[in-house]
Amino acid sequence: MIIDCDPGVDDAMAFIAAARWADLVGITTVAGNVPLVHTTANACRLRSLLGLDVEIHSGADGPLVGVQEFATHVHGETGLGDVVLPESDRGADSDDAVGYLVETTRSEEGLHLVPIGPLTNVALALRADPGLADRVASITLMGGSALGVGNVSAVAEFNVFADPEAADEVFRSGARLTMIGLNLTHQVRMGAVHAAQCRTVGSPVGDAMTGLLEFYTKFHLAEEEVSDGPVHDPCAVLAVTHPELFTLEDRHVQVELAGSHTRGMTLVDERGARASAAANCRVAYGVDADAVIALVMQAVREG
Ligand code: RIB
Ligand code: CA
């Protein structure tokens, strides 16, 4: 798989899961939770922490159109909470994420593209080469939501809200799409108990995960008065590596661009045979959350 990301506390958790469970081919970075300079630096530091020998290519530093949104209140000013990872021994391999996505999916067909940030790079790559949609095994994205769940607004999820035009182009691309939305990820929650377990691991990865979970839990305790938080991004990675843990339904999904209250909403047509158009996406509704969390924790222990 190729991961397109905006690290990001839960993106970092997705790195840990991918390092253990995926055949990770490469990484592209995009602005999202924090500016591109930080998402790229974080990806490089995580690559070093996990001993990954993969290329990292930075991409878009903002949405296709519209005002840029960050989520520093969730992920901290530099994106990994208050976790400070050692400087990376290697910087990004280029600033041409689009070229990397196009060329790598040409040289190796059947890759899964796993976007876990705003979809700007993916949309630009599809513009550069629409044939990418047919070459990838799937675009399995953490983003959007079924059943009207929102986080940045009553009905919009951050990755789609941050660049709705890009998301719209991806959902209309004809690619084999799997949407891991908030309706799914809110079922997979980790918190202080898991942080305490990670603390006993006694490794750089265990210590990093402890800090990430403790920061994330503090945010959710303050914001939602709950003692754990949804670990969004690892769900997208594990939906590719362990599909048996997820229940998916075919749906027609479209992105709202013009709504004054609903811009960035993924409108999922739940009407079955009466849906307004043919299904363009497999939407995740169910998950064996305990099994997903166990895979994340095993990846931490073995990281
Ligand atoms: O809405 C959750 C998503 O937005 C996650 O990918 C998180 O990292 C942020 O990018
Ligand atoms: Ca993310």
pLDDT tens figures, 63-79: 999 889 899 988 999 99
Q: Is 6 in the pocket of ligand 1 (CB under 6 A)?
A: yes
Identify the bridge partners of residue 189 per DSSP, sorted by sequence position.
Answer: 230
Instruction: Round to whole Å and give the CA distance between 147 and 140.
Output: 19
109-119: pLDDT as tens digits? 999 999 999 99
The pTM assigned to this predicted structure is 0.98
Closest CA to 117 of 30, 234, 17, 54: 30
Give yes or no for residue 175 having a pLDDT over 90: yes
pLDDT of residue 205: 98
Choice among 20-24, 69-73, 102-106, 192-196 with the minimum mean pLDDT: 69-73
Q: Is 151 in the pocket of ligand 1 (CB under 6 A)?
A: yes
Give residue 147's identity as a one-letter amino acid code: L
Give residue 104's identity as a one-letter amino acid code: T
pLDDT of residue 228: 92
pLDDT of residue 225: 79
Of the ligands numbered here, which is closest to the C-alpha atom of 151?
Answer: 1
Atom of ligand 1 nearest to the CA of 185: 2
CA of 131 to the centre of ligand 2 (A): 25
Q: Is 183 in the pocket of ligand 1 (CB under 6 A)?
A: no
Instruction: Round to whole Å and give the CA distance between 214 and 13.
Output: 13
Instruction: Round to whole Å and give the CA distance between 31 and 124.
Output: 14
Instruction: Round to whole Å and give the CA distance between 282 and 253.
Output: 9
Q: Is 216 in the pocket of ligand 1 (CB under 6 A)?
A: no
CA angle in degrees (0–180, nearest 5) for 189-190-193: 140
Out of 116, 121, 149, mutate this one to test ligand 1's pocket (max ligand atoms within 8 Å of CB): namely: 116
Q: Atom 1 in ligand 1: which residue has the minimum CA distance?
A: 158
Instruction: Round to whole Å and give the CA distance between 42 and 232.
Output: 18
Going by DSSP bridges, is the β-strand pair 281-287/246-255 parallel, antiparallel, or unpaired? antiparallel
Q: Would you place residue 224 in the very low, low, confident or very high pLDDT band (cuts 50, 70, 90)?
A: confident
CA of 234 to the centre of ligand 1 (A): 11
Locate tokens 């080469």: which residue? 129
Give yes or no for residue 232 having a pLDDT over 90: yes
| Mean pLDDT confidence for 60-65 | 98
Locate tokens 């363009």: which residue? 280
248-289: pLDDT as tens digits? 999 999 999 999 999 999 999 999 989 989 999 999 999 999
Within the chain, where are the H helices?
Answer: 9-21, 36-50, 72-75, 97-107, 120-128, 132-135, 158-162, 164-171, 182-185, 192-199, 204-224, 232-241, 289-302
Locate tokens 């976007």: which residue? 115
Of the ligands numbered here, which is closest to the C-alpha atom of 161?
Answer: 1
Q: Is 135 in the pocket of ligand 1 (CB under 6 A)?
A: no
Q: Quick one: tokens of 33?
A: 């939770």
CA of 237 to the centre of ligand 1 (A): 13
- CATH topology for 2-302 is Inosine-uridine Nucleoside N-ribohydrolase; Chain A (3.90.245)
pLDDT of residue 246: 98
Q: Would you place residue 244 in the very low, low, confident or very high pLDDT band (cuts 50, 70, 90)?
A: very high
Instruction: Round to whole Å and give the CA distance between 174 and 165.
Output: 16
Give yes or no for residue 300 having a pLDDT over 90: yes
Q: Would you place residue 220 in the very low, low, confident or very high pLDDT band (cuts 50, 70, 90)?
A: confident
Q: For residue 86, give the DSSP letter.
A: P
